[in-house]
Structure 1
Amino acid sequence: MIEDAFALAAGVAMPGRFYVEMFPICKLYPSLAKRAGFKRKAEELAKMARSVNQVPFDWAKAQMINGTNEDSFVSMHLGPDAGKKLSADEEEVIVTSSAALYIGGADTTVSALTTFVLLMILYPEVQKRAQAEVDSVTSGRLPTLDDLAALPYIMAMVKEIIRWAPVAPLGIPHSVT
């Protein structure tokens, strides 16, 4: 669902994709606008955005009502009152906030993990050194956030992955003079 929404949004956002951008007069004539396709795509994107927002929220709420939920943004904000009727504004804030958190992490997480796997394949000696550091600190258990201070090589790897292939264009365009 989220991948389809991203693909549709990327296609719609492509400059010059619709006639109305080149011929703004098309906006004034609904029959021309229909043929241009941008309104249909905009409606499709709006429907998909509502679905991307609402479906995960409804799922999390149902899990809370069933008692099978894990801790999450939604469960934290609904608390023990998952079955309680929220005002439209309250629910909208939770729905859109949780969707923003999910959407914000979807592509960036995949991008960072893909870069990590690529670099570990290209540099197996780095992978061995990182694994040795994790093994020496964790002694066979899964690492926790408390272990970060004892994992300087891992932290350096994370920083290098983000530097080498940023997950989003966050920097200001610049060049060397």
Structure 2
Amino acid sequence: MFTKILVPVDGSCYSREALKVACTLLNANRSDDTSPAGNASAGQLVLLHVPEELGSEPAFVWGVSAIAAGAALDEREAIGREILDNAGRDALSLMVPNPMILLRHGSPGQVILDAAREHGVDAIVMGHRGMGKFKALIEGSVSRKVSHHARCRVVTVH
């Protein structure tokens, strides 16, 4: 069904659930594969993290210590790499080895869309972090932007 899935990870419980869904989809593809190559065509997982400046209180994410709102870029990148490493280990425990790991900078929605096009993914599976209605109205959510502009399927996990 899907041969390449992009999962943006930010360490939230929503992105962890999205990773589980993506791995389930890739594993379903593997079990449906009847080619002589076996699971060689099971698919590819692409993990993406976009370090973004936080505008609020520190957050605790994916077993990583709190991220201060004013953290320097190199500190946010180091935490991002740790989030990606943890996501890669989780993917392996969910029977999806060797994910492609991407750490990119920019506006999260646009970076996700660009990575999806660049890597030719069949689907983006992403978490939905709830925002207040007013903030979402003014700024829009990343998952909403991605779902409206992606050239592939988008699965949003709540």
TM (norm. structure 1) is 0.27
Q: Which has the larger radius of gyration?
A: 1
Q: Which protein has the bigger strand share?
A: 2
Higher relative contact order structure (alpha carbons within 8 Å, sequence separation ≥ 6): 2
Give the structure with the higher percent helix. 1
